[in-house]
Amino acid sequence: MISKIRKSSGFVLLSFDETERPASTGRIETKVAMPQKVTERINFGKIKEVISPPNLIEIQLDSYKEFLQADVAQSKRKNTGLQAVFTEVFPIESYDGKTVLDFHSYEIQEPKVDWLECLREGLTFGAPLYVTFLLKDEKGTKEEKVFMGEIPLMTPQGTFVINGAERVIVSQLHRSPGLAFETTQHPNGKLLHSFRIIPDRGSWYEAQFDTSDLLYVYLDRKKRRRKFLTTTFFRALYAIPEARLHPKPDSKIVPEDVGKDGEILDLFYNIEELSLKEAEKLEDIQNKVLIEDAVDLDKGIVVARAFEPLSKAVVKQIGELGVGKIRVVDTSVDDGIVIKCLKKDPTKNADEALKDIYRRLRPGDPPTAANAKALIKRLFFDPKRYDLGRVGRYKINQKLNFSESESRILTGRDLLEATKYLLKLKKGEGSLDDIDHLGSRRIRTVGELLANQCRVGLARTERLVKERMTLFDQTLDTMTPQKLINPKALSAVVRD
């Protein structure tokens, strides 16, 4: 037992009682007790604190707790954090479709060593992660618990102990997912309005006016030169059931029959059917535009072309053909911008639009409607590749006044309403968004950053599992989840 501590010329001298002197005459072993909690802060100021300072690391602790959900029962876990990552990647189906590996649940066991002990001994503070998988094949279903490596645990101070050293994951400040309307000034002085839909994960969708007041769409920021008209894109959406732009998404419609000019006009305008007498009496007849050609069938001459402004002289010529009613749209709602795009649009139906988009996005590949449909679906309508996130969906709903939409992928309605809002903005209605405003930014906490890393690791695991399913010889050995899963892919990504 130490009885006295004396300081002498810079050294600390320890003296022991005779009765409790250490048995060995070698080095003196002393165990230092690590603090179990943070030292209490003493305030020497004269002004007393009105309120206690907030717990500034609480956001880190809560984020990681929500990511792991270790204390929550397996059946009651929310679809967030680690649970969401597993449900996104699984089930994994073999290329022939005969075998499916599905995720059932995961379990985080108790850590073997306390975090204070890890600091002393130079160890990593973590807990083993066991995942229960279900393997379904022609013979039946096998359930097995697989060890997926150690997952780091957070200390009460919001840090991680890696090889005996405390490490901190710093939260990131980034552009919030959602919808942003902006303007840029062209070198000739003209203001060009645009909007972009930024997802949490996936491709950006951008639409911008050019100097000729034509509205173009960009589907990939890296390939901004590959642009096409917004009417071309909306034609293509008619052929994609997941976009839900068509009134009957499950109906079997031939691509040639959808995406015609009339359907595009119906999205942006109210199509009016007028008698010739009503048309002649209109004061704003110059704002009315025919939606189809007026043809003299006897002579085979086009008397009035579609998308051209009406005049009283044109109405009289149409009357001479014996036509009783004409279908028109009022271009004053958007100054005829959509009509301009339709006149410039090289495509006439959904099938042509799909091929045109594919030709621009994948130059060199033979364009087919099926490949183009799969490409657009992969870019915006596949939950595995595209995710707006809760924040992104909330921002879009808030900007476009949607109430019930909770879809984490884009819908045709989102794109349509955003385009209509941009057309209003061009006329001076609506408000722009400031990208530098802190309201347009959000914090990526530790749980979200780790979820992204786990997603990368499990994506690698998915490729390996599919290859092993294909190469596995079931005549020699029985296929089990343990033999298909490689736990190193996940643990290596988390460790990095």
Q: How far apart are the first and last CA of the chain?
A: 45
- In this model, does residue 260 exceed pLDDT 70? yes
- The crossing angle, in degrees rounded to 10, of helices 337-344 and 412-426 is 120
pLDDT over 60 (residue 10): no
Query: Which is more confident, 19 or 144?
Result: 144
Tokens of 172: 């990131």
- Where b means 16+ CB within 10 Å and e means fewer, 422-458 reads bbebbeeeeeebeeeeeeeebebbbbbbbbebbbebb
The structure's pTM equals 0.78
Per-residue model confidence (pLDDT) at position 224:
62
Select the more confidently predicted residue: 2 or 294. 294
Q: How far is CA 6 from CA 27, 282, 320, 350, in A?
A: 19, 107, 119, 91
pLDDT digits (tens, 9 = 90+) for 91-114: 888 887 788 888 888 888 888 888
Of the candidate ranges 124-138, 200-214, 477-491, the one whose mean pLDDT is the lowest: 477-491
**How much is the pLDDT for 22?**
43
What residues pair up with 357 in beta bridges, in sequence order?
Answer: none
Q: What is the mean pLDDT of residues 182-187?
A: 88
Could you tell me the two tokens for 55?
A: 């717990």
What is the reported pLDDT for 95? 81
| HSE (side-chain half, CA atoms, 13 Å) at 366 | 2
Rounded CA separation 347/354 (Å): 9
pLDDT for 11 beyond 50: no
Question: Tens of pLDDT along 308-325?
Answer: 887 788 778 877 777 777
Check residue 222 and give its pLDDT: 61
Among all chains, which residue has been given the structure tokens 């250490």?
22
Position 4 confidence tier, pLDDT thresholds 50, 70, 90: very low
- Cα distance between residue 244 and residue 252, in whole Å: 14
**CB contact set of 38 (below 8 Å; sequence gap of 6+):** 157
| Mean pLDDT of the chain, nearest integer | 80
In this prediction, residue 5 carries a pLDDT of 45
Say if strands 227-229 and 215-218 run parallel, antiparallel, or are unpaired: antiparallel
